[in-house]
Amino acid sequence: MMRVLKDLFEDYRFTISFSILGILLILAILSLFSPYDPTLWGTVPRDLKPSWTYLLGTNSKGQDIFWQATFAIRNSLIIAVIAASLSRVIAVLVGMVAGYKGGVTGTVLMFLSDVFLVIPLFLIIVMLAMLVREKMTLVTLGLLLAVFGWAWDARVIRSQILSLRERGFTQTAILSGTGTVRLVLNEYMPFTTPLIFSTLINNMAWVVGLEITLAFLGLVNMEIPTLGTMLQWAISYQAILLGYWWWILTPIVLSILLFVALYWLSVSISEYLDPRTRIQRVGV
């Protein structure tokens, strides 16, 4: 384990992304110790600039922006983890079954995947969000995005399984009596793990971006602090025109840091898990 971490930290992208995510996770954990209820207004003086008392200032709703940011990071990460994890389960199952079984089963599954790819995805999500807006929670939003976040990745996984199915070790395993489940876990998973992990992190970034978009459109529960709702409240109160730069910049900077960290983490770990890339980079 220590050797793996040492090799990974030799990549500056992993080091930077790991550090950023570590800081963001610490901020998310700090939300558990917040002295304020994130849903209450008027708990602190309004529109104060950053100071030692209020590290990131306060907003026009009378809230401490620093503590709001801790809740926003935590909730955005919760939504991303729920959506990305569930959609990976669907993508892996559909992709592997379609690739390994083929035939009618593979055709039906890929037809279902193609349906999700060709429909106007964003419009469907917006309409469904409008229907459940009154009951929108972190879990509900995570499940909604998970349902629509697996189709492309399932097709990519299927392509890799189709390639692996034609290799010699697959025929050898089948002739030796290896069961399907054992074949997939022992032979296919080492090849597909980098792809699955990469799509997991990329999907988390997609979910965060879509949550911000839905919040901008007012289609989520605006009382639940997320990166998207923080940005929307700042825009609604004309923070830019009024010069409240600390209010508008906080969610923007945090979002950019999260996107960069997720992207670099995905790239660096995927390259390390790929045996060919690892040999070229770390010489092992």
Is the backbone of residue 125 left (phi > 0), alpha (psi -120 to 50) or beta?
Answer: alpha
pLDDT of residue 104: 83
Q: Which domain holds residue 155?
A: 10-255+268-282
Report how far apart, in Å, the C-alpha atoms of 196 and of each of 3, 77, 141, 167, 209 are. 22, 19, 22, 20, 20
pLDDT of residue 56: 93
**One-letter amino acid of 90:** I
Quick check: is 3 in a domain? Answer: no
Nearest-angstrom CA–CA distance, 223 and 220: 9
Cβ-defined contacts of 2-6 (< 8 Å, 24+): 4/272
Quick check: is 238 in a domain? Answer: yes
Nearest-angstrom CA–CA distance, 216 and 222: 10
pLDDT of residue 117: 82
pLDDT of residue 230: 94
- Divide the 284 residues of the chain into consecutive groups of 10 and give the mean pLDDT of each group: 64 86 94 91 92 92 94 94 92 84 82 84 85 84 89 85 74 64 70 80 91 89 91 91 92 94 85 61 49
Quick check: is 5 in a domain? Answer: no
| Opening angle at CA 158, ends 152 and 162, nearest 5 | 150
Is the backbone of residue 177 left (phi > 0), alpha (psi -120 to 50) or beta?
Answer: left
Quick check: is 263 in a domain? Answer: no
Angle between helices 189-216 and 245-273 (to 10 degrees): 170
Dihedral of the CA atoms 158, 163, 169, 170 (nearest 10)?
Answer: 40
Residue 59 in contact with residue 234, Cβ under 8 Å?
yes
pLDDT of residue 12: 80
Q: How far apart are the first and last CA of the chain?
A: 15
pLDDT of residue 284: 46
Nearest to residue 105, comparing CAs of 170, 167, 158, 152? 158
pLDDT of residue 260: 92
Quick check: is 260 in a domain? Answer: no
| Structural domains of the chain, count | 1
**One-letter amino acid of 258:** L
Quick check: is 85 in a domain? Answer: yes
pLDDT of residue 30: 94
What the block records as the tokens of 51 is 């100071």
Would you call 26 helix, strand, or coil by DSSP? helix
| Reported pTM | 0.87
pLDDT of residue 130: 85
Quick check: is 151 in a domain? Answer: yes
Quick check: is 262 in a domain? Answer: no
Residue 47 in contact with residue 59, Cβ under 8 Å?
yes
CATH of the domain at 60: 1.10.3720.10
